[in-house]
Amino acid sequence: MLSALRKRVLSLPRTWKRVILVGFDFAALAFVLWAAFSLRYDRWELPNSIDEWAIVFSAPLVAVPVFVRMGLYRAVVRYLPERAIWTIVQAMALAAILWVLLAFLTAMTGRGFVPRSVPIVYWAFGTLGITGSRLAAKWLFWPSSRKALLQRPVVVIYGAGEAGSQLASSLRNSHFIAGFLDDDQTLHRREVVGIKVFAPSHLPSLVRDFGVKQVILSIPSLSLTRRKEIVHEVSHHGVKVESLPAITDLVTGKYLVSQIREIEIDELLGRSSIPPDPDLIREMIVGRIIMVTGAGGSIGSELCRKIAQWRPQKLVLFEANEFALYNIEMELAAAKDVSAVPVLGSVTNAQRVIGAIKEHGVQVVFHAAAHKHVPLVEANALEGIYNNVFGTKIVADAAFEHGVKDFVLISTDKAVRPTNVMGATKRWAELIVREKAAQAVEQQSKQRFCAVRFGNVLGSNGSVVPLFKKQIAMGGPLTLTDRAMTRYFMSIQEAAELIVQAGALSGGGDVFLLDMGEPILISELAENMVRLAGLTVRSEDNPKGDIEIVAVGKRPGEKMFEELFYDSSSAVPTRHLKILRGVGQLAQPVKLGPRLDELRIALSIEDEKAARALLFSLIADREAGEMSH
């Protein structure tokens, strides 16, 4: 019999369940007030006049609206968090105070006197009765499956449109959906697929009443700007924000509506999306034999993925790390229609580089191989110089001597007025490429050598994003250099796409500068990552937060901010809105031979001090030249 009753109650619509709760509360509070009077007068008999019945029913008539206002009927009993008991205590206290006020006013009209002990007994017994009824219902109607039910994620869906309703239908069996949030005011307080729609400002009460831990954005066509605003607003409430895939992925069938994904930090950069120029990519890639050095690295592997999508004749994967080479080869092999050739070797091995270019008839080289981690290169300066400077020299020489038509160096914003060895070696690499471009012009070989300079890419090896993710997973703290430090950031996918297009724009000797937008505070990036994980930042204003962010001080060679230009006025736009070209590159002849010889000697005798001095002295001379143009 109990099982049948349980099944029947659970099958009722949520509205009827609320009606039952309201009815129970009304009867229970009326009984509690009668019991309070009976205890005070030690007389247990039913009211025998209209005035006495009016006094008994006045309590629930005051209390029920208070309960409605404080959300006691919004919280689902099954998911009632224990902290909701405090809300019940507060609601009963307010209801008792309002009832006392009502009783005082009615006493002034000559309707009787209320003993002082009655409100206290009424509040105490009322609190016990209302709290006990919720907990009893929770344990009575969900006895066997209680643990499983409590483990079901409680979510809110942001967006009550077609995608949101489909998502709700697909998640019903595995999640409890506390409600929809939507910006459309015409939908507020209505129901979509049986679930109530609320204004976004209602999220805090949903979190409080239902214990919501996850908000899913179900607006696939949402603009990046609006997505950033929503994530910023929602994540402040200590919930994890996830999203449906983009509308293009849903239309093409790459994802189903039920497949939600985590929001990546690069989606919060607020960068406007510019579609790639197919003519530029086609000119650079289609039908050509291309070699990517550092093909297993973060930038190199993403370049390989982009290149593979545009049908090259052959893609040569040149990589010194065996495991990284294996990974990218296996990934591209799954595409089947890509002819990818793995070549294991270092860019400092001239014979291996020349052999790869000659054997495969390489026409285009993207030189991404480099040591890029600033503190590690600073601590291992000689190896950094050997790999980044002489490795670039070897690859550029081999490309020039063996007829490679296009050579693109992947450079960095740290090459501008460098304060560390890594940045200085990349500046030397730019100058080496410029020297090759000048030789190509002199010999009229029609070969194009250029460099592409940009800032940090989110998620690349050695960047702060993987570090912050690891620190968050370990419970913090997140460590950063200085709260005022800024960096330029772009997604690794956008960077790779722009590099390919910049190569097609080259006239020889160019240094292209990718539009990185506005610099971002590292501290802001850290805070956003904590919130995306559904956690809160611990600070003076929020001492009970989950993750602390700690400034540990600058590391050797680090700048507080980075620059993309020696002189921003010297950069001119190209046909692509996010690619700028530095001017005046070939105005001065570049003769690096004697300086390279001196640097090679310093490396051979492992004189790090001399090598550093040579490294930065050339750059100081070149900076003066740059600024004069």
- Alpha-carbon distance 523 to 551, whole Å? 9
State the amino acid at position 154 in one-letter form: V
Residue with tokens 């292209």: 512
Structure tokens given for 395: 């690859």
Contacts of 327 (CB under 8 A, 6+ apart): 296, 301
Partnered with residue 196 across adjacent β-strands are 191
DSSP classification of residue 574:
-
Partnered with residue 372 across adjacent β-strands are none
Q: Is 436 a catalytic residue?
A: no
* Axis crossing angle, helix 522-532 with helix 224-235, rounded to the nearest 10: 70
Nearest to 18 by CA among 156, 177, 196, 213: 196
Catalytic residue among 228, 393, 414, 578: 414
Nearest to 360 by CA among 348, 342, 347, 346: 342
Residue with tokens 């600033």: 374
Alpha carbon distances (Å) from 227 to 177, 393, 480, 561 = 21, 44, 26, 27
Residue with tokens 């539009």: 515
Angle at 16 between CA 15 and CA 19, to 5 degrees: 95
Beta strands in 263-361 (DSSP E): 289-293, 314-319, 340-344
Nearest to 235 by CA among 490, 518, 481, 546: 546
Helix, strand, coil abundance in the chain, percent, nearest 5: 50, 15, 35
Residues annotated as catalytic (active site), given as ranges: 414
